[in-house]
């Protein structure tokens, strides 16, 4: 696959809204390209290429050395996307069309000191579309509407292979996936990659009291929805692995949990920081995520454990076809022989949906974010199958905040101001407490964009400071203390719930409101 062919594919994927259309484009690329090009293309789309980090500051410096910085700043402000701006404004040179494999090789092996000269030389030799694809590849920000799972699904459909089997061994495969394409061509499944494999997890769908009213409560078991990280703990033939729900092996960051996994099987549960019988807020677990190694001090101060939901395989028996109640009985017996830091998520006693609603409204711990419902007769099915499992989360927290700053979005939103920083009052001063870039409708986005354009009072590069007159209702799932933010708080999953033209800025909420939420429990509290 040449860089031009890769650029064309990215453009077509970005402008094809339908999932099936994207899958057809990818299938054609798999069929029409040789190895290793198609494997590298797949790796780029799944985010599995490990290239040297090319930073925005490096690209800005290169561009300002070739183009009038004032013109570049004005162009970037108008376009809104750094790669697209550079691709369009970079001076034209002699055209070339290198293979994708050559580009990937040089980006992954060139020493850091020589990287700027390499990138500049490449940009000199490419056309605008190829420059855009090259920069997106180098920064790892493709954003063409293709998730890693969609890319794997497209491969499975093209190859005629079960997606679940591909996802089981994906963690052990590496670009350019020669074994995977050989399997598609008729070779045997790469079983060497399948030691302690990941099994795709079963997911739930959101629900509420109105939807539940049509169902019989007796058909369902309920348990708390713990605010940690969903994981799969796998032990097979002495190999111990801990996977995130997307199949990423995160065991290196949690050696203490791996040490507790003294069993043979596959268990489904929640990864939590645990201190005795207590469960720490999500913010403490977050400090251990995405680490290649963990220090002894961190192991002591943030000890992790598992709270189990389900069992897929136990002592060589695959239990996924059995009903939930039967699996739960096996799981209860299994947990009895494990370290206390691996325990069973308790089930809730209820006879009506109103009973469950009362429990949901007053959970015993702040780290509980709702309830889970599971049909007693449901098998363990991979993916998000509507009907067997539901999640009924606690209502989000709501505050009224004042818009303070705005930035342009990316991709399809590059023409709009869609990233908004908002604040609350601390005395006579507005202090930022969060940033949101979703939650609003398309019409609300246009309204907010018009407000920013008509009420800009200052400019800081691509950031616009706006008149402090527009109030928005912000929904969020949790709140942590933060030493990195001036306000002292950090929101979890904030989003703009609605615009409040009826409310003057002076009536927006105060920082004391957020601090009171934190003060409901001691320490660094997550209220989600």
Query: DSSP string of 41-91?
Result: HHHHHHT---PPP--HHHHHHHHHTTS-HHHHHHHHHHH--HHHHHHHHSP
| Segment 505-514 mean pLDDT | 89
Q: What is the pLDDT of residues 394-428, one digit of tens each?
A: 877 888 999 999 988 765 666 788 899 999 999 88
pLDDT at 198 over 90: no
Stretch (H or E) spanning 415: none
* Top-ranked range on mean pLDDT: pick from 211-225, 245-259, 493-507: 211-225
Quick check: 423 and 430 in contact, CB under 8 A?
Answer: yes
Give the model's confidence band at 520: pLDDT under 50 very low, under 70 low, under 90 confident, else very high: low
Stretch (H or E) spanning 21: helix 19-32
Q: Report the C-alpha gap between 70 and 359 in whole angstroms.
A: 59
Q: Which of 50, 225, 292, 486 does the annotation list as catalytic?
A: 225
Q: All domains of the chain, ordered by start, with CATH?
A: 3-139 (1.10.3260.10), 202-393 (3.30.470.30), 397-518 (2.40.50.140)
Quick check: 437 and 417 in contact, CB under 8 A?
Answer: no
Q: Report the C-alpha gap between 448 and 409 in whole angstroms.
A: 13
Lowest mean pLDDT among 213-227, 463-477, 479-493: 479-493
pLDDT at 521 over 90: no
Give the model's confidence band at 193: pLDDT under 50 very low, under 70 low, under 90 confident, else very high: low
pLDDT at 194 over 50: yes
Phi-psi region of 340 (alpha: psi -120 to 50; beta: other; left: phi over 0): alpha
pLDDT attached to residue 519? 63
Task: Name the average pLDDT for the chain.
Answer: 88
Give the model's confidence band at 81: pLDDT under 50 very low, under 70 low, under 90 confident, else very high: confident
pLDDT attached to residue 478? 76
Stretch (H or E) spanning 293: none
pLDDT attached to residue 525? 35
- Residue (of 511, 439, 440) closest to 479 by Cα position: 511
* Top-ranked range on mean pLDDT: pick from 86-95, 270-279, 299-308, 384-393: 299-308
> By percentage, how much of the chain surpasses pLDDT 90?
53
| Segment 516-521 mean pLDDT | 66
pLDDT at 527 over 70: no
Q: Report the C-alpha gap between 468 and 457 in whole angstroms.
A: 9
- Residue (of 318, 227, 222, 232) closest to 267 by Cα position: 232
pLDDT attached to residue 121? 93
More confidently predicted of 87 and 191: 87
**Token pair recorded at residue 432:** 């930022």
Residues in contact with 174: Cβ distance below 8 Å, sequence separation at least 6, in sequence order: 48
pLDDT attached to residue 411? 59
Please give the span between the terminal C-alpha atoms of the chain, in angstroms, as a whole number: 47
More confidently predicted of 42 and 463: 42
Alpha helices in 95-127 (DSSP H): 100-109, 115-124
Q: Are strands 463-466 and 397-408 parallel, antiparallel or unpaired?
A: antiparallel
Q: Report the C-alpha gap between 384 and 386 in whole angstroms.
A: 6
Quick check: 491 and 434 in contact, CB under 8 A?
Answer: yes
| Residue 338 bridge partners (DSSP) | none
Q: Report the C-alpha gap between 156 and 30 in whole angstroms.
A: 11
pLDDT attached to residue 192? 60
Give the model's confidence band at 278: pLDDT under 50 very low, under 70 low, under 90 confident, else very high: confident
Number of helices and strands (H, E) in the chain?
Answer: 20, 22
> ∠309-314-317 over CA atoms, to 5°?
130
| Segment 440-450 mean pLDDT | 89
3-state secondary structure of 175: coil
pTM exceeds 0.85, yes or no: no
Q: Are strands 304-314 and 317-318 parallel, antiparallel or unpaired?
A: antiparallel
| Segment 75-102 mean pLDDT | 86
pLDDT attached to residue 523? 35
Q: Report the C-alpha gap between 423 and 508 in whole angstroms.
A: 9
Q: How many residues does the chain have?
A: 528
Q: Judging by beta carbons within 10 Å of its beta carbon (0-12, 13-18, 19+), is residue 485 exposed, middle or buried?
A: middle
pLDDT attached to residue 347? 95
For residues 46, 385, 476, 436, the Cα torsion angle rounded to the nearest 10 degrees is 40
Quick check: 384 and 204 in contact, CB under 8 A?
Answer: yes
Quick check: 433 and 489 in contact, CB under 8 A?
Answer: yes
- Residue (of 494, 462, 496) closest to 476 by Cα position: 494
Residues in contact with 276: Cβ distance below 8 Å, sequence separation at least 6, in sequence order: none
3-state secondary structure of 497: strand
Give the model's confidence band at 84: pLDDT under 50 very low, under 70 low, under 90 confident, else very high: confident
Is residue 225 among the annotated active site residues?
A: yes
More confidently predicted of 308 and 462: 308
Report whether the peptide linkage leading into residue 176 is cis, meaning its omega lies within 30 degrees of zero: yes
């Amino acid at each position: 696959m040449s860089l031009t062919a890769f650029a064309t594919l990215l453009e077509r994927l970005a402008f094809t809204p339908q999932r099936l259309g994207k899958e057809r484009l990818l299938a054609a690329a798999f069929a029409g390209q040789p190895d290793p090009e198609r494997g590298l293309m797949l790796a780029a789309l799944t985010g599995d290429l490990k290239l040297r980090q090319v930073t925005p500051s490096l690209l800005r410096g290169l561009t300002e050395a070739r183009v009038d910085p004032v013109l570049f700043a004005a162009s970037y402000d108008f376009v809104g996307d750094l790669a697209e701006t550079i691709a369009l404004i970079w001076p034209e040179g002699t055209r070339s069309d290198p293979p994708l494999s050559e580009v990937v090789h040089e980006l992954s092996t060139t020493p850091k000191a020589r990287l700027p000269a390499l990138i500049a030389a490449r940009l000199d030799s490419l056309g605008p579309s190829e420059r855009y694809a090259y920069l997106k590849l180098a920064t790892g920000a493709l954003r063409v509407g293709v998730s890693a799972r969609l890319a794997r699904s497209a491969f499975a459909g093209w190859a005629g292979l079960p997606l679940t089997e591909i996802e089981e061994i994906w963690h052990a495969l590496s670009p350019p996936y020669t074994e995977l394409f050989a399997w598609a061509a008729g070779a045997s499944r790469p079983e060497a990659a399948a030691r302690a494999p990941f099994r795709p997890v079963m997911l739930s769908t959101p629900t509420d009291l109105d939807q539940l009213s049509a169902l019989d409560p007796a058909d369902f078991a309920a348990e708390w929805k713990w605010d940690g990280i969903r994981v799969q703990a796998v032990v097979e033939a002495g190999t111990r692995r801990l996977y995130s729900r997307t199949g990423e092996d995160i065991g290196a960051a949690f050696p203490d949990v791996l040490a507790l996994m003294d069993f043979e099987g596959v268990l489904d549960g929640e990864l939590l920081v645990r201190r005795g019988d207590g469960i720490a807020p999500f913010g403490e677990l977050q400090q251990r995520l995405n680490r290649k190694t963990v220090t002894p001090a961190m192991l002591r101060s943030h000890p992790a454990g598992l709270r189990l939901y389900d069992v897929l395989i136990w002592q060589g028996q695959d239990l996924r076809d059995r009903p939930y109640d039967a699996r739960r009985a096996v799981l209860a017996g299994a947990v009895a022989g494990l370290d206390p830091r691996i325990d069973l998520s308790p089930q809730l006693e209820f006879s009506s949906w109103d009973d469950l609603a009362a429990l949901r409204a007053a959970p015993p711990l702040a780290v509980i974010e709702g309830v889970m419902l599971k049909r007693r007769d449901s098998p363990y099915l991979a993916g998000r199958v509507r009907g067997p499992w539901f999640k009924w989360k606690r209502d989000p927290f709501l505050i009224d905040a004042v818009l303070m700053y705005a930035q342009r979005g990316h991709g399809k939103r590059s023409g709009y101001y869609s990233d908004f920083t908002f604040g609350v009052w601390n005395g006579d001063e507005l202090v930022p407490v969060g940033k949101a870039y979703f939650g609003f409708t398309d019409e609300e986005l246009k309204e907010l964009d018009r407000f920013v354009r008509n009420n800009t009072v200052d400019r800081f590069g691509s950031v616009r400071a706006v008149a402090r007159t527009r109030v928005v209702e912000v929904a969020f799932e949790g709140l942590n203390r933060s030493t990195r933010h001036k306000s002292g708080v950090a929101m979890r999953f904030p989003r703009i719930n609605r615009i409040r033209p009826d409310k003057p800025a002076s009536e927006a909420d105060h920082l004391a409101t957020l601090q009171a939420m934190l003060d409901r429990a001691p320490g660094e509290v997550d209220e989600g």
